[in-house]
């Protein structure tokens, strides 16, 4: 398991009728404040503020083609050469990070090959690096230096 130290960053929130919303600075829009979205926004802030990931190289909730099926990843990080580098799947804190979640990110990896894969539900985070076709568990989130 990867230990996380989330930065003390306040997310911009508002109430739109009965719907609580968060401002997503990556998509530049207001989104519904679901538990999964809260995890996604907190994790994005961690990547940018603690691990120095450039905002310009982060894609949030985009569609990818996996075989004949269109899927939607949570976060994709590109390297400096604009090649996909890391896939991140975010879940609500109530969702157990089990083999099913890992399989989901591995499926996305078939559509978008990356070196790193991470699954996170807020307090719990697991990650892997692809090494010679095998997955090696990460002990920490890699700093952005590629």
> What's residue 48's pLDDT?
95
- C-alpha dihedral sign at 89, 44, 75, 21: positive
The ranges assigned to domains in the chain are 13-137
Per-residue pLDDT for 10 more than 90?
Answer: no
Write down the pLDDT at residue 62.
82
pLDDT over 80 (residue 146): no
- The rounded mean pLDDT for the chain is 91
Question: Of residues 62 and 35, which shows the higher confidence score?
Answer: 35
The reported pLDDT for the residue numbered 72 is 81
Q: pLDDT tens-digit profile of 63-93?
A: 777 777 777 889 999 999 999 999 999 999 9
**Residues 101-115: tens digit of each pLDDT:** 999 898 888 888 999
8 A C-beta contact, residue 39 and residue 19: no
Residue with tokens 């590629």: 146
Please report, for the chain, how many H helices and E strands are present, in that order.
2, 9
At 65 the pLDDT is 72
Q: Which CATH class is domain 13-137?
A: alpha beta
* Across 116-144, average pLDDT: 94
Label residue 16 by pLDDT band (50, 70, 90). Answer: very high
Residue 68 falls in which region: left (phi positive, over 0), alpha (psi -120 to 50) or beta:
alpha
Mean pLDDT to the nearest integer, 26-42: 95
Q: In what order do the strands lie in the sheet with 116-120?
A: 58-66, 69-78, 84-90, 116-120, 125-131, 134-137
């Amino acid at each position: 398991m990867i230990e996380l130290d989330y930065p003390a960053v306040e997310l911009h929130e508002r109430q739109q009728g009965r719907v609580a919303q968060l401002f997503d600075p990556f998509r530049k829009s207001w989104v519904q404040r679901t538990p999964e979205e809260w995890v996604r926004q907190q994790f994005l802030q961690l990547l940018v503020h603690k691990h120095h990931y450039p905002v310009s190289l982060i894609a949030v909730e985009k569609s990818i083609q996996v075989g004949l099926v269109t899927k939607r990843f949570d976060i994709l990080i590109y390297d400096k050469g604009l090649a996909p580098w890391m896939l991140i799947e975010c879940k609500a804190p109530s969702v157990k990070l089990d083999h099913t979640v890992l399989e989901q990110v591995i499926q996305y990896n078939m559509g978008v090959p990356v070196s790193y894969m991470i699954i996170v539900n807020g307090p719990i985070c697991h990650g892997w690096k692809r090494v010679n076709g095998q997955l090696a568990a990460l002990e920490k989130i890699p700093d952005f230096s590629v």
